[in-house]
Amino acid sequence: MRSKLAFSLGLLSILLLSSLFLTGRNAYATTAARQFTPTDVGGLPPLLNVSTLLGNDQANRTMQLSVNLALRNQDQLNALLHDLYDPSSPAYHQFLSVADFAQRFGPTIDQQQAVEDYLTRHGFTITQTYPNHLVIDFSGPEALAEQTFGVTIKDYRSPLGRHFFANANVPTLPAYLANFVSFIGGLDNANQFYHPPITSPNGNLTHNPNAGANCPSAGVSSGGSGGGIFGGLGGSQVSYIPNQFAKAYNYDGLHSAGLQGAGQTVGVFELDGYSQSDVQTYTQCFGGGSVPISNVILDGFNGQPGAGAVEVELDMEVIMSMAPKLSKMIVYEAPNTTQGYNDEFARIVSDRTPVISVSWGDCEKNMGQPEAQQENKFFQEAAAQGQSILVASGDSGSSSCFQLGGSSFDTSLNADDPAAQPFVTAVGGTTLSLNSANSYQSEHVWNGGLFGGAGGGGISQYWKQPAWQKGPGTQNQYSNGMRETPDVSLDADPASGYPIYCTAGSSCSGSGWLTIGGTSAAAPMWAAMVVLTNEEAAQQGKKPVGFLNPALYTIGSGSHYHSDFHDITPPTDTSTPSNNDEIGFNGGAYPVTNGYDMATGWGTFDATKLAADLVAIG
């Protein structure tokens, strides 16, 4: 009897264990299956919503692609970014190295390896990785990309007639990868980043025997914006030369103190090439010819000047004229694609270049939130590493999507990206007038009327208003809890423009010398000021100023505001622009006010006084 009972109990135990084993095995199989379930990653280009489908893409091109990984420990990073720029914190200006950032906040090496293994297993070739582990570049045939990511690539025509290709559906990855992958780049060429400066030939030349060349002469104030079809003042275009800008904005005080860029490095973000001989001709007239220039060329770009060469040469020439003894200028160049755009920022933060000028972008609506979120990772890293990024706010006023030659004629209120990002400094535009002694006389918001350009500004669709922008003096009738731009401004009106020498590319005139306007000129002017500020900080044994905005808004709301800044206030003359509503369809949004506003930010600087206060805060 006992043996039968024992046998029965033993058999029951075996059955129970078998059942548990099978149940566990099935559960494991179910979990494993879930890990391989295709999961959406990123989104679709917003331009698809307003474009015409032409059919399936037949090119079967070799595609240059990227997988973009998510940051880790975001809450800890948020806290660190606050403390790094809080003068009362022990962590103030204790900036991270590239390796420190990667170790604390970048994807893990195992995560990066898992993605690389998946890609190579499917037949792709890994072409580039970065120290922060945030981006993996790879290449492969279009058909392979369609199969691997579950997409169909089609051809489209934009509202303005440009043909482009794009994935017609959201790409997917297995869930075990999608958990830490945020974006797949390169499946489309919908976005063409766009910030063309506004140009006209400059014939006001005088032979300079010291330069051995014909150089632009000093300009005389014309008194107003020009070039617009509607609303412009019709002022004739003039070109102020660098020593006029240096006097008006008080670079002179920095220069006379010996601050001209020695020991400092600046980078310019570019999506085109340039002519070295053009730059040499400019520096013969205005200095900076001894600045060593290093080219960093990415994603197979050929480095040749194209339609955007005038932008590249503008950035370089403006900075060298104000910081003629720079130790190094790095010109980052990549193809004008989303892939090239992101890879260039990935390289910039990997190099930890201290000051960066960016004059390329698009309106937030065209850029799309997945791409904006991808950029934001780079800008968080830059801020954590003590890098300063100065970005043009756009040249279409409060309607950033209204672009002659760009993606659309959308007249709605839109801010520009990356200017609206919360970890960059957005630079808007003014019209500068000088007195007969070439000293600062006055400024007003740049608004040349329809097609004449206006300083970009407005409210972000994606980013909440940062803590540093919620302080005294920044809230206004339009505030809605989202990030506001610009932060600051500088002269950008072609009627009070910059002399640039450019013969390369289709956008340059055969004569060489041009008068140029646009926030694309204001951003590098600001970058030059930050370079000189870092030089002053170094002389005092201090670190670079890093992300500027917390300090700028502290100064803007403090007792030194009217010493450090020219506040652009409402004009008393009704013929003078009082807002940046370029097209006139948005009820005058956004108006100039006393203090901060979304037409000019805090205004323009006295370089010497602002630099001193930025260093003092540091």
Q: What is the pLDDT of residues 27-74, one digit of tens each?
A: 444 444 457 688 989 889 999 999 999 999 988 899 999 999 999 999
Encode pLDDT of 131-181 as tens digits: 999 999 999 999 999 999 999 999 999 988 889 999 999 999 999 999 999
69 forms beta bridges with 181
**Is the pLDDT score of 598 beyond 90?**
yes
311 token code pair = 């932008």
| Range in 11-15, 244-248, 309-313, 543-547 the model is least confident about | 11-15
144, 228: one domain: no
Whole-angstrom distance, CA of residue 590 vs CA of residue 586: 8
Q: In whole angstroms, give the CA distance from residue 502 to residue 272.
A: 13
Least confident of 6-20, 72-86, 216-230, 465-479: 6-20
Structure tokens given for 152: 């169909």
Q: Are residues 125 and 54 in the same domain?
A: yes
- How many CB atoms within 10 Å of residue 544? 21
The answer, as to whether pTM is greater than 0.85, is: yes
Residue 8 has pLDDT above 70, yes or no: no
Q: Which two tokens stand for residue 282?
A: 């400019």
Q: Is residue 334 part of a domain?
A: yes
Q: For residues 324 and 227, which has the higher predicted lDDT (pLDDT)?
A: 324
Q: Is 418 helix (H, G, I), strand (E, B) or coil?
A: coil
Helix, strand, coil percentages in the chain from 3-state DSSP, rounded to 5: 35, 25, 45
Bridge partners for 136 per DSSP: 67, 129
> Alpha-carbon distance 385 to 350, whole Å?
10
Per-residue CA distances from 294 to 274, 330, 469, 523 (Å): 12, 5, 36, 20
The answer to whether residue 346 is domain-embedded is yes
Q: How far apart are CA 84 and CA 80, in angstroms?
A: 6
- The torsion defined by the Cα of 252, 255, 257 and 262, in degrees rounded to 10, comes to 160
Same domain flag for 461 and 543: yes
**Helix (H, G, I), strand (E, B), or coil: what is residue 367?**
helix
Task: Give CA–CA dist 461/487, Å, rounded.
Answer: 17
Query: What is the mean pLDDT of the segment spanning 514-524?
Result: 95
3-class DSSP state for residue 517? strand
1-10: Cβ within 8 A, 24+ apart: none
Within 8 A by CB and 6+ apart from 605, the residues are 249, 250, 488, 490, 526, 529, 564, 565, 566
> Does residue 18 form part of some domain?
no
Residue 545 domain flag: yes
Q: What is the pLDDT of residue 32?
A: 47
215 in any annotated domain: no
Q: Does residue 579 belong to any structural domain of this protein?
A: yes
Among 340-344, 467-471, 507-511, the minimum mean pLDDT is found in: 507-511
Q: Are 514 and 313 a contacting pair, CB within 8 Å?
A: no
**Which among 446, 592, 468, 460 has a CA at the least distance from the CA of 519?**
446
Write out the residue range of the structural domain in which residue 50 sits.
Answer: 46-71+106-185
Q: Are residues 383 and 241 in the same domain?
A: yes
pLDDT band for 24, please (50, 70, 90 cuts): very low
What's residue 2's pLDDT?
45
Task: Report the pLDDT value the prediction gives residue 214, as an integer from 0 to 100.
Answer: 86
Q: Are residues 156 and 267 in the same domain?
A: no
pLDDT at 7: 45
**How much is the pLDDT for 192?**
85
Give the pLDDT band of residue 195 (cuts 50, 70, 90): low
Model confidence band, residue 373 (pLDDT cutoffs 50, 70, 90) = very high
What is the radius of gyration, based on Cα positions, of the chain?
27
Q: Which of 131, 159, 185 is the last residue of a domain?
A: 185
pLDDT at 403: 72
Question: Among the ranges 250-259, 362-371, 512-521, which has the highest mean pLDDT value?
Answer: 250-259
Mean pLDDT score of the chain, rounded to an integer?
A: 90
What gap in Å lies between CA 320 and CA 261, rounded to an integer? Answer: 9
In the three-class reduction of DSSP (H, G, I as helix; E, B as strand; rest coil), residue 499 is classed as strand
Q: Where are the beta strands (DSSP E) in 502-552?
A: 513-517
Q: How far is Cα 394 from Cα 585, in angstroms, rounded to an integer?
A: 18
Four-residue CA torsion sign, 215, 218, 223, 224? positive
pLDDT for 472:
82
**What string of H, E and C letters represents the secondary structure of 445-478?**
ECECCCCCCECCCEEEEEEECCHHHCCCCCCCCC
**Which residues in 338-367 are b (16+ Cβ under 10 Å) and which e?**
bbbbbbbbbbbbbbbbbbbbbbbbbbbbbb
Which of 164, 185, 206 terminates a domain? The answer is 185
Predicted local confidence at residue 160, as pLDDT: 84
Whether residue 243 sits in one domain with residue 155 = no
Lowest mean pLDDT, pick from 78-82, 236-240, 558-562: 236-240
Six-digit token string for 72: 């880790």
Number of structural domains found in the chain: 2
- 341 upstream amide cis, omega within 30 of 0: no
Lowest mean pLDDT among 44-53, 318-327, 385-394: 44-53
**Which pair of structure tokens corresponds to residue 610?**
């602002």
| Segment holding 483, helix H or strand E | strand 482-485
**Residue 407: its pLDDT value, please?**
54
Q: What is the DSSP letter of 46?
A: G
CA–CA dist 388, 384 (Å, integer): 10
Are residues 441 and 539 both part of a single domain? yes
Residue 78 lies in a domain: no
* Pick from 575, 577, 604: nearest CA to 592: 577
Do 540 and 429 lie in one domain? The reply is yes
Q: Are residues 437 and 534 in the same domain?
A: yes
Q: What is the pLDDT of residues 209-266, one digit of tens each?
A: 666 668 998 987 765 555 444 333 334 567 899 999 999 999 999 999 999 999 999 9
Residue 116, C-beta contacts closer than 8 angstroms, at least 6 positions apart: 126, 129, 136
What's the first-to-final CA gap in the chain, in angstroms? Answer: 90
- Same-domain status, 332 and 439: yes
Q: What is the pLDDT of residue 596?
A: 98
Evaluate the CA torsion angle 538, 542, 544, 549 in order and state its sign: negative
CB 236 within 8 A of CB 203: no
The pLDDT of residue 20 is above 80: no
Whether 177 and 239 share a structural domain? no
On the question of pLDDT at 79 being above 90, the answer is: yes
DSSP 557-613: TSTTHHHHEE-----SSTTS--B--SSS-STT-SB--SS-BTTTBT-EE-HHHHHHH
Q: Are residues 256 and 359 located together in one domain of the fold?
A: yes
Residue 326 is part of a domain; what is its CATH number?
A: 3.40.50.200
By residue count, the chain amounts to 618
pLDDT at 238: 76
Buried b (16+ CB within 10 A) or exposed e, 127-154: bbbbbbbbbbbbbbebebbbebbebebb
How buried is residue 574: exposed, middle or buried, by Cβ count under 10 Å (0-12/13-18/19+)? exposed
Is residue 555 assigned to a domain?
A: yes
Q: Determine the angle formed by the axes of helices 309-322 and 519-539, rounding to 10 degrees.
A: 30
Nearest to 428 by CA among 491, 483, 482: 491
Cα distance between residue 211 and residue 287, in whole Å: 9
Kindly report, residue by residue over 268-292, the tens digit of the pLDDT.
999 999 999 999 999 999 999 999 9
